[in-house]
Amino acid sequence: MASDLIATLRSTFAPIHPEGWLFVAVFAAITALLWWLWAPLGAVGGVLTAWCAYFFRNPDRVTPAREGLVISPADGTVQAIGAAAPPPELEMGAAPRTRVSIFMNVFNVHINRIPVDGTIEKLVYRPGKFLNASLDKASEHNERQSVRMRSRDGRELAFVQIAGLVARRIRCWIEEGQAVAAGERFGLIRFGSRVDVYLPDGVSPLVCPGQTAVAGETVLADLDSAEGPREGEQR
């Protein structure tokens, strides 16, 4: 029972990522000022400060460690699954691939993680608009950070960080040529956003639209599986 309580507390009060400390400090300073001006305003500021700390939480995750698994790079809802061409700047051709889109709201963990073991081949940042990240056209028009990588067995896939309606900063800490492992942290997006994953040809997703994904834990696909697309229903 004690171990369950500790695990719950750790998942609820996860460490704050270093990227968030400046924001938490600014929120706290504004809260102090508001409290001095009028206590009810200070209370509102306190709630917002707590939310800011919650937004930048950085929990550990247990990543399935088997070759060929494609792990979710983001917390959130599997918003859509369909065929789409990868971003042209990645130079992966115009042929459609299966794309899994994961939408993160402002209450999800926003630390992004590597989806598969392999090597980073190409990184391209492209400025753009800040449309609602839940819209399909956000993949084409919004600010984005596109990543092309190759799995250890030589298959090519891509993932793309997409800014959202209130997101104004994409952070990506990996470099071209870097060897990476599934589940490793590679970036974040402030505040509310989306991550698209483009699977290799012939690989079907193992998740369904509407399903909740957990970064670093949920298996999106299996590169070595011949299973077809899955169907799901709300229960």
SS3 (DSSP) at 216: coil
Q: What is the pLDDT of residues 36-81, one digit of tens each?
A: 888 888 888 888 888 778 878 889 999 998 889 999 999 999 999 9
Token pair 């190409």 is found at 122
Same domain, 85 and 119: yes
**Which two structure tokens, joined as six digits, stand for 152?**
């250890």
Determine whether 139 is an active site residue.
no
Structural domain contains residue 231:
no
Torsion 195-201-204-206 (CA) sign: negative
Same domain, 187 and 73: yes
Same domain, 74 and 13: no
Q: Is the pLDDT of residue 210 over 90?
A: yes
Structural domain contains residue 42:
yes
Q: pLDDT band for 176, please (50, 70, 90 cuts).
A: very high
CA-closest candidate to residue 108, choices 179, 54, 69, 48: 54
* Residue-level pLDDT at 215: 96
* Residue-level pLDDT at 157: 96
* pTM for the predicted model, two decimal places: 0.87
Q: Is the pLDDT of residue 2 over 80?
A: no
Same domain, 134 and 177: yes
Question: Domain range for residue 11?
Answer: 2-55
Same domain, 79 and 159: yes
Q: What is the pLDDT of residues 117-130, one digit of tens each?
A: 999 999 999 987 76
Measure the CA dihedral 175/199/128/209, to 10°.
Answer: -130
Same domain, 148 and 170: yes
Average pLDDT, the chain: 86
Number of folded domains that form the chain: 2
Residue 131: enclosing H or E segment and its boundaries?
none
Same domain, 196 and 120: yes
Cα angle, residue 74 at apex, residues 76 and 28 outer, rounded to 5°: 80
Task: 125-131: list long-range contacts, CB under 8 Å, 24+ apart.
Answer: 125/170, 125/172, 126/87, 126/89, 128/163, 130/163, 130/164, 130/165, 130/166, 130/167, 130/168, 131/164, 131/165
Q: Which residues contact 20 (CB under 8 A, 6 or more apart)?
A: 52, 53, 55, 56
Same domain, 49 and 141: no
Structural domain contains residue 7:
yes
Same domain, 82 and 44: no
* The one catalytic residue among 146, 193, 204, 225: 193
Q: What is the pLDDT of residues 70-99, one digit of tens each?
A: 999 999 999 999 999 999 999 999 999 999
- What is the mean predicted confidence (pLDDT) over 172-176? 95
Same domain, 218 and 176: yes
What are the two backbone dihedrals, phi and then psi, of residue 189, each rounded to the nearest 5 degrees?
-135, 135
Task: Walk across the sheet containing 169-172 and list its strands.
Answer: 111-113, 185-190, 169-172
CA separation for the pair 123, 9 (Å, rounded): 37
